[in-house]
Amino acid sequence: MNDKLIGHKFKLVNSEKTGITLELNSWSTENFIEKYSVSFDNEKIIERIKAENISFGEKVSKIDFFNRLIRDIQSEDEKTKEFASEILCNFLEFDISDFELKTLKIGIEKIIEQLKTEKNIDAEQKLAEGLFEFIYSGKLNNKEKLELLERLTEIDSYQICQYLDDEDYLKIPKVKKHVEKNKTSGEHRV
């Protein structure tokens, strides 16, 4: 199957449902039948659909793709949150070099808000990983990076704490205090 159909508009062949193709990979393969992970336009749901049931359209912009993932991490459907978080993590790791920082920051704010209340450990782990991929990307100057790292200490997240427990980050007093408090308190949710 052609990877180039990722990030395209689609319409289901036997339905009026439309959306964006997000991914084609091993988790969307059952019995060696390739399936696309697709996000529907009118509902916060990601489903796996066989290519033969999809009519592909034009490619969407990276901004539209990113915004769709941000929308879907906020879904009430647990699997949708997990899939969107994983795809978003990969996007933040590999596809942001030419992305406008202002747009990324808006999405990062939504990731932070989601992490404050996220109960799904798989989604939480991928959101935290994606957030730190953004930090590692070099898009932020040192002051912005410091402010973001200090802000992350306000989130009660085991996953965030694990990433903050890094030699370089522990040089930041607020981060060090947060990590030490969580190591000794035993109150951190796992």
Question: Domain-by-domain residue ranges, the chain?
Answer: 3-59, 62-155
Residue 76, SS3 per DSSP: coil
- How buried is 172 (Cβ within 10 angstroms: 0-12 exposed, 13-18 middle, 19+ buried)? middle
Q: Most distant CA pair in the chain: distance in Å?
A: 58
Q: Which CATH class is domain 3-59?
A: mainly beta
Q: How far apart are the first and last CA of the chain?
A: 38
Find where tokens 């030490």 sit.
Answer: 180
Residue 96 near residue 137, CB atoms below 8 Å = yes
User: Is pTM beyond 0.85 here?
Assistant: yes
Q: In terms of Cα–Cα distance, which of 84, 76, 71 is closest to 22?
A: 84
What pLDDT is recorded for position 83?
95
Q: What is the pLDDT of residues 33-92, one digit of tens each?
A: 788 999 999 999 999 998 899 999 999 999 999 999 999 999 999 999 999 999 999 999
